[in-house]
Structure 1
Amino acid sequence: MVGNSIRSRFLMVGLQLYPGHGYRGLSINAIADRAGHSQEEFIEIFGSKKAYMADLLAFHFEESFGRVNFDVRVAESDIESLRCILWRIALCLRNDSAWINRLLADTQDGVKVVGRYFVSLYGRLSDGLILLLQRCDRRNNYTSEEAYNRFDYLYGAVFSPMILSMRLDDLGVLPKRLSKHLPDMMSDHVVKQRIDWTLSVLFPDAVLQNEALPCG
């Protein structure tokens, strides 16, 4: 029990430190010092920094994306379930923007353990969304090509503005007039608006609920 408690402490510290330092800048000494434990305890529990990072990324997924569950129907209709899942993913991306930016930077920097995690994360989300898109369309001749095309459109309309804008702003190359309005672009109202606009285009015959999204 004590070992699990210490392990959890090391992982919680990693959640705090990783966005600011990245994989290469995150030292075992810094983690142990912030956690209030020794480097020897760190090595005894994780074995290496690389193994620790793999555990930290898995921990991050559960902490950040744990509520994005494609196996549980979260609303009365398929279209509202898709709407809820899109909202939950958008919240994860917005609230975890520092982590997402660092993951992208480390992946570009060739950190393989991070790159594998990012591929896995994108794969889980894209596979789940494609299945939901297929369930929302009742036609029997719905092709896989159309499914992927719809996913690309959905991703580009809902998530890309968030990820790209945050990344460009982090790099300092987002035009000032856009950077100034970035908080507005990330607001609940605007994100929900993008989701509803996108679903109205993809499924013009669907009737979306006018009230607030039926999920947290």
Structure 2
Amino acid sequence: MRSKEIHMPRPSLNADIAMLASGRALFAEHGCVGLSVRAVAEHAGVNPGLFHYHFGSKDQFLRTVLQSLYEEMFEQLSGAAHVAGAPLQRLRGVLILIGQFLLEHGPQVGRIWSDAGNGVPVAVAFVQNNAPRHLDLVTGLLEEADQAGELAPLAPMQRMAFLMGAVAAPILVVGRLTGLPLGGALPAGQLVSDVLSSEAIEARVDLALMALRIQKGTIQ
């Protein structure tokens, strides 16, 4: 007599993809500490048991969420950094992509840095492993431009700080301001159009690169 075969129920198809999407959606509000397995499962509409089946632990889930988000950005940055063209032209493309990424994912980025500053291990490890990667791309392009005689004399870290201050800081700061009741003094609509638009990002990048050049001019 043949024994009956026992068929284990198959995990729901695409449950892991749904949970990763929910992790991205919920991360900015809850962060590494506050994001719960139950909240992710409920948001994704899946059984909480599937969370551990696919990811094993909350920390592994967080690492996967954050790393997948970063790799999407870094792939674009790397492509822009290695296309044919003058160093400053390629740097312009990289900086605009960084600005656009922050425009779309500023709340998540802000939460990562906040968690890292508070010593949350997953966030600390993420920043340590990944922040140098895109900064190295920018530094490398600045070095190429410097060797080509395109930049005015300035300490390398001063150049980096200036560029990040021009590109990233306005997006992160103004992005927070738009959620505050500022009244008519700083109209949210004007903040968005003047600071948080794609056109505004490109304008700041061009102004920043112009300031670093030996000769004045626009980056074409």
Q: TM-score, normalised by structure 1?
A: 0.80
Q: Which residue of 2 aligns with 1:177?
A: 185
2:137 to 124, 128, 131: 128
Question: Contact 1:23–1:106 (CA<8 Å) still a contact in 2?
Answer: yes
Q: Which residue of 2 aligns with 1:200?
A: 210
Q: Which residue of 2 aligns with 1:7?
A: 16
Q: Deviations over 1:17-56 (max 9, x none)?
A: 2122222221111212222322222112211111111111
2:158 to 124, 142, 149: 149
Which range is displaced more, 116-125 or 2-11?
Answer: 2-11
Q: Which residue of 1 aligns with 2:5?
A: none
Q: Distance in 2 between matches of 1:70 and 1:147?
A: 23
Distance 1:174 1:54, change over 3 A: farther
Structure 2: gaps of 5 or more residues: 1-9
Q: Distance in 2 between matches of 1:95 and 1:13?
A: 16
Distance 1:179 1:107, change over 3 A: farther
Q: Distance in 1 between matches of 2:32 and 2:184?
A: 30
Q: Which residue of 1 aligns with 2:88?
A: 79
Question: Contact 2:81–2:94 (CA<8 Å) still a contact in 1?
Answer: no
Question: Alignment partner of 2:185: what SS?
Answer: helix
Structure 1: gaps of 5 or more residues: 211-216
Question: Alignment partner of 1:137: what SS?
Answer: helix
Shift of 1:76: 2.0
Q: Which residue of 2 aligns with 1:20?
A: 29
Question: Alignment partner of 1:67: what SS?
Answer: helix
Structure ID, larger Rg: 2
Shift of 1:173: 8.9
The residue type equivalent to 1:122 in the other structure is: A
Q: Distance in 2 between matches of 1:91 and 1:186?
A: 9
Which range is displaced more, 54-63 or 86-95?
Answer: 54-63
Report the count of equivalent residues.
207
Q: Distance in 2 between matches of 1:98 and 1:89?
A: 14
Q: Which residue of 2 aligns with 1:191?
A: 201
Q: Which residue of 1 aligns with 2:103?
A: 94
The residue type equivalent to 2:99 in the other structure is: A
Q: Say yes or no: does 1:38 pair with 2:43.
A: no
Identity in percent:
27
The residue type equivalent to 2:164 in the other structure is: Y
Question: Contact 2:81–2:137 (CA<8 Å) still a contact in 1?
Answer: no
Q: Distance in 2 between matches of 1:156 and 1:10?
A: 34
Question: Alignment partner of 1:69: what SS?
Answer: helix
